[in-house]
Amino acid sequence: MRLGVLDVGSNTVHLLVVDAHHGAAPIPAHSHKTEMRLAEHIVDGERISRTGIDTLVSFVQSAQDVAEDFGVTEMIAFATSAIREAANGEAVLREVLGRTGVELQVLSGDDEARLTFLAVRRWYGWSSGRLLVLDIGGGSLEIAVGADEVPDVAVSVPLGAGRLSRAFLTQDPARAEDVKAMRKHARATIADVAGKVTRAGDPRHVVATSKTFRSLARIAGAAPSNDGPFVRRTLERDDLRLWVPKLAAMTVKERTSLPGVSASRAPQLLAGAVVAEAAMDLLDVERLQIAPWALREGVILERLDRIER
């Protein structure tokens, strides 16, 4: 079957068209996305603005056209923290449904962690043993650990790279005291859940997903995305420790000159690096591997698992 997966995230709204069959890996056929930064359309009262709603509806309509052009037979549409946490989130969902006919399912943070874990497990297989999976999005950080396809622990904390950038990094380049405050906040938040994660057992394999981790690995020397998904890419904690102060000293424009860092992601890279370093420190991770599959693939795999054989 040809599936369309519409992911309404805090940074990006992305339609991924895949050829998918039970028992087989989903094969990407087309990608249609925009850096909408929905979380930046939050106005007073924690409400998504009229401009934000109209922009989202417009993209969903364009995604429907693309899905039709590519022969999609089923659309799976979901939203994450930006709509989940908005005071008018339910009203936004109703308006999207009324104007487009697309029903967005709002995933909880724990569901995001669980589905991302499923994708990583399927990619690496049972031989990878107990997995620890980290994912930094625009609004939240997801952590999951376990030895099976369903994690023993799956948690989400409000430490997204976009969220922290808006809350702490108001100057360019960042002020040292703001970076320190952000670092303190990130570590205190992760410390609240670290015990729960570590009590689940020592992982044999630590994996990270998301554009933030891929960008950090790239500037630390990992292979570019053009080399394909089967190239092993890793991120060392020691490298991250060296890069955090470098990123803090750079302007946003200077970060765009780094390999693998786009102009749209450069403003959030410092916050992402601070969160990544905090997670690796508090969970005692020296090295992690970058996975090509993440939340969208997890949503697809769970859907395929429901198909009767």
Q: Is residue 309 part of a domain?
A: no
Instruction: Let me know whether 135 and 97 are in one domain.
Output: no
Overall number of domains in the chain: 2
Cβ neighbourhood burial of 8 (10 Å; 0-12, 13-18, 19+): buried
Co-location of 28 and 97 in the same domain: yes
Angle at 171 between CA 168 and CA 177, to 5 degrees: 55
CA–CA separation, 204 vs 294, rounded Å?
19
Show which of 106, 139, 168 is a domain's final residue. Answer: 106
Burial classification of residue 44, based on how many CB atoms lie within 10 Å of its CB (0-12 exposed, 13-18 middle, 19 or more buried): exposed
The encoded tokens of residue 36 equal: 């909408």
Lowest average pLDDT, out of 29-43, 104-118, 191-205, goes to 29-43
3-state DSSP of the chain: CEEEEEEECCCCEEEEEEECCCCCCCEEEEEEEECCCHHHHEECCCEECHHHHHHHHHHHHHHHHHHHHCCCCEEEEEECHHHHHCCCHHHHHHHHHHHHCCCCEECCHHHHHHHHHHHHHHHHCHHHCCEEEEEECCCCEEEEEECCCCCCEEEEECCCHHHHHHHHCCCCCCCHHHHHHHHHHHHHHHHHHHHHHHCCCCCCEEEEECHHHHHHHHHCCCCCHHHCCCCCCEEEHHHHHHHHHHHHHCCHHHHCCCCCCCCCCHHHHHHHHHHHHHHHHHCCCCEEEECCCCHHHHHHHHHHHCCCC
- Residue 54: predicted pLDDT: 97
Q: Residue 256: is its pLDDT beyond 90? A: yes
Q: Is residue 117 part of a domain?
A: no
Name the residue range of residue 49's domain: 2-106
Q: Which of 79, 106, 133 is the last residue of a domain?
A: 106
**Strands 42-43 and 27-34: what pairing?**
unpaired
Mean pLDDT over the full length of the chain: 95
What is the pLDDT, as a whole number, of residue 44? 75
Please report how the helices 176-198 and 161-168 are oriented relative to each other, as an axis angle in degrees rounded to 10.
Answer: 140
Structural domain contains residue 40? yes
pLDDT tens-digit profile of 71-106?
999 999 999 999 999 999 999 999 999 999 999 999
- Residue at 111 is within a domain: no
Confidence of residue 45 (pLDDT cuts 50, 70, 90): low
CB 275 within 8 A of CB 186: yes
Whether residues 137 and 251 share a domain: the answer is yes
Residues 152 and 274 in one domain: yes
**Residue 308 scores a pLDDT above 70:** no
pLDDT at 131: 98
Q: What's the rounded Cα separation, in Å, for the pair 86 and 82?
A: 6
Q: Are residues 232 and 138 in the same domain?
A: yes
pLDDT band at residue 118 under the 50/70/90 scheme: very high
- Specify the pLDDT at position 281: 98
Residue pointed to by tokens 């950080």: 141
Does 155 share its domain with 42? no
Least confident interval from 3-7, 98-102, 172-176, 261-265: 261-265
Mark whether 195 and 48 lie in a shared domain.
no
Q: Which tops the pLDDT comparison, 45 or 227?
A: 227
Q: Is residue 191 part of a domain?
A: yes
Q: Which residues contact 148 (CB under 8 A, 6 or more apart)?
A: 121
* Pair (136, 257) in one structural domain: yes
* Domain of residue 232, CATH code: 3.30.420.150
Residue 300 lies in a domain: no
Q: In terms of residues, how long is the chain?
A: 309
Domain boundary among 75, 106, 137: 106
Q: What is the CATH number of the domain that holds 45?
A: 3.30.420.40
Asked if residue 214 and residue 255 are part of one domain, the reply reads yes
Lay out the sheet containing 234-236: strands in order across.
153-157, 141-146, 131-136, 205-209, 287-290, 234-236
Residues 149 and 286 in one domain: yes
With respect to residue 208, please indicate whether it lies within any of the assigned structural domains: yes
User: How far, in Å, CA of 222 to CA of 271, rounded?
Assistant: 20
Percent of the chain with pLDDT over 70: 99
Is residue 170, in this structure, part of any structural domain at all?
yes
Quick one: 171 and 76 in the same domain? no
Same domain, 188 and 77: no
Residue 185 in this model has a pLDDT that exceeds 70: yes
Query: Taking Cα atoms as reference points, which of 271, 248, 31, 294 lies closest to residue 139?
Result: 271
Give me the mean pLDDT over the 158-162 stretch. Answer: 95
